[in-house]
Amino acid sequence: ISLVFFFHSCVSHRFIAKPCALGLKVQANGPQKAQPNAILEKVFTAITKHPDEKRLEGLSKQLDWDVRSIQRWFRQRRNQEKPSTLTKFCESMWRFTFYLYIFTYGVRFLRKTPWLWNTRQCWNGYPYQPLMPDLHYYYIVELSFYWSLMFSQFIDIKRKDFGIMFTHHIVTVTLITFSYVTNLTRVGTLTLCLHDAADVVLEAAKMANYCKCQKLSDLLFLTFAIVFIVSRLGIYPLW
């Protein structure tokens, strides 16, 4: 299922999200590319992306460039590794679509369960609680999504928060798997639904920002802050 999500993400980016982004006039061009230079490229890839003053002076003498030009080259080269606004919009649209779907599914599923409003029911009869097909589907889809996010990190443009996000995905996959194996799925569904609520608004706010709809973006980010505080800092730890 993780591979299906990964494939669907690639198809969605190319045939759905990208046309939508272009229709909304999202900037398609990436950062300005640095002019090709074998020596500087070797330093950038093998030694350092942020040369100190001593190295800059040495490169300046070697290439007969002034230091400011070399600093500009390294800055442009670093920017090349950042994803374009179009790429970020496509990623946010894919995640928004997933979070909206899975949050809606979670709410519809939990409305039919006795443990939504009475959390004591999460422990009633534990650990001998039946695994309902809807609950099993909910878990498998969530788990597969985070596996696909972890896999995609290795083929996407590498970002500054690579290590942090990789750790986040590992922890998330571990927690979901552990709760499934130990049959703590009732409380797990509540946790998943609470966390997805804020993510829906966050991805919508990002898309509005990439489209340069500033007022809508500000409103959505404010809504995200409220939902985050209420759901993750209020309901989750206190209820």
pLDDT 10s digits, 69-122: 989 888 888 887 777 788 888 889 989 999 999 999 999 999 999 999 999 999
- HSE-up (13 A, CA, CB side) for residue 115: 21
Each residue of 183-217: pLDDT tens digit? 999 999 999 999 999 999 999 999 999 988 999 99
What is the identity of the amino acid at 120?
R
Quote the distance between the C-alpha of residue 100 and its chain's center. Answer: 14
Q: Does residue 33 lie in a domain region? A: no
Q: CB neighbours of 192 closer than 8 A, spacing ≥ 6?
A: 102, 106, 138, 142, 176
Q: Take residue 204 and report the two structure tokens written for it.
A: 């919508």
Predicted TM-score (pTM) of the model is 0.80
Answer yes or no: do 97 and 144 share one domain. Answer: yes
One domain, residues 198 and 145: yes
The residue among 81, 113, 147 that closes a domain is 81
- Same-domain status, 15 and 117: yes
Q: Do 119 and 198 have their domain in common?
A: yes
Which domain range does residue 178 map to? 1-25+83-234
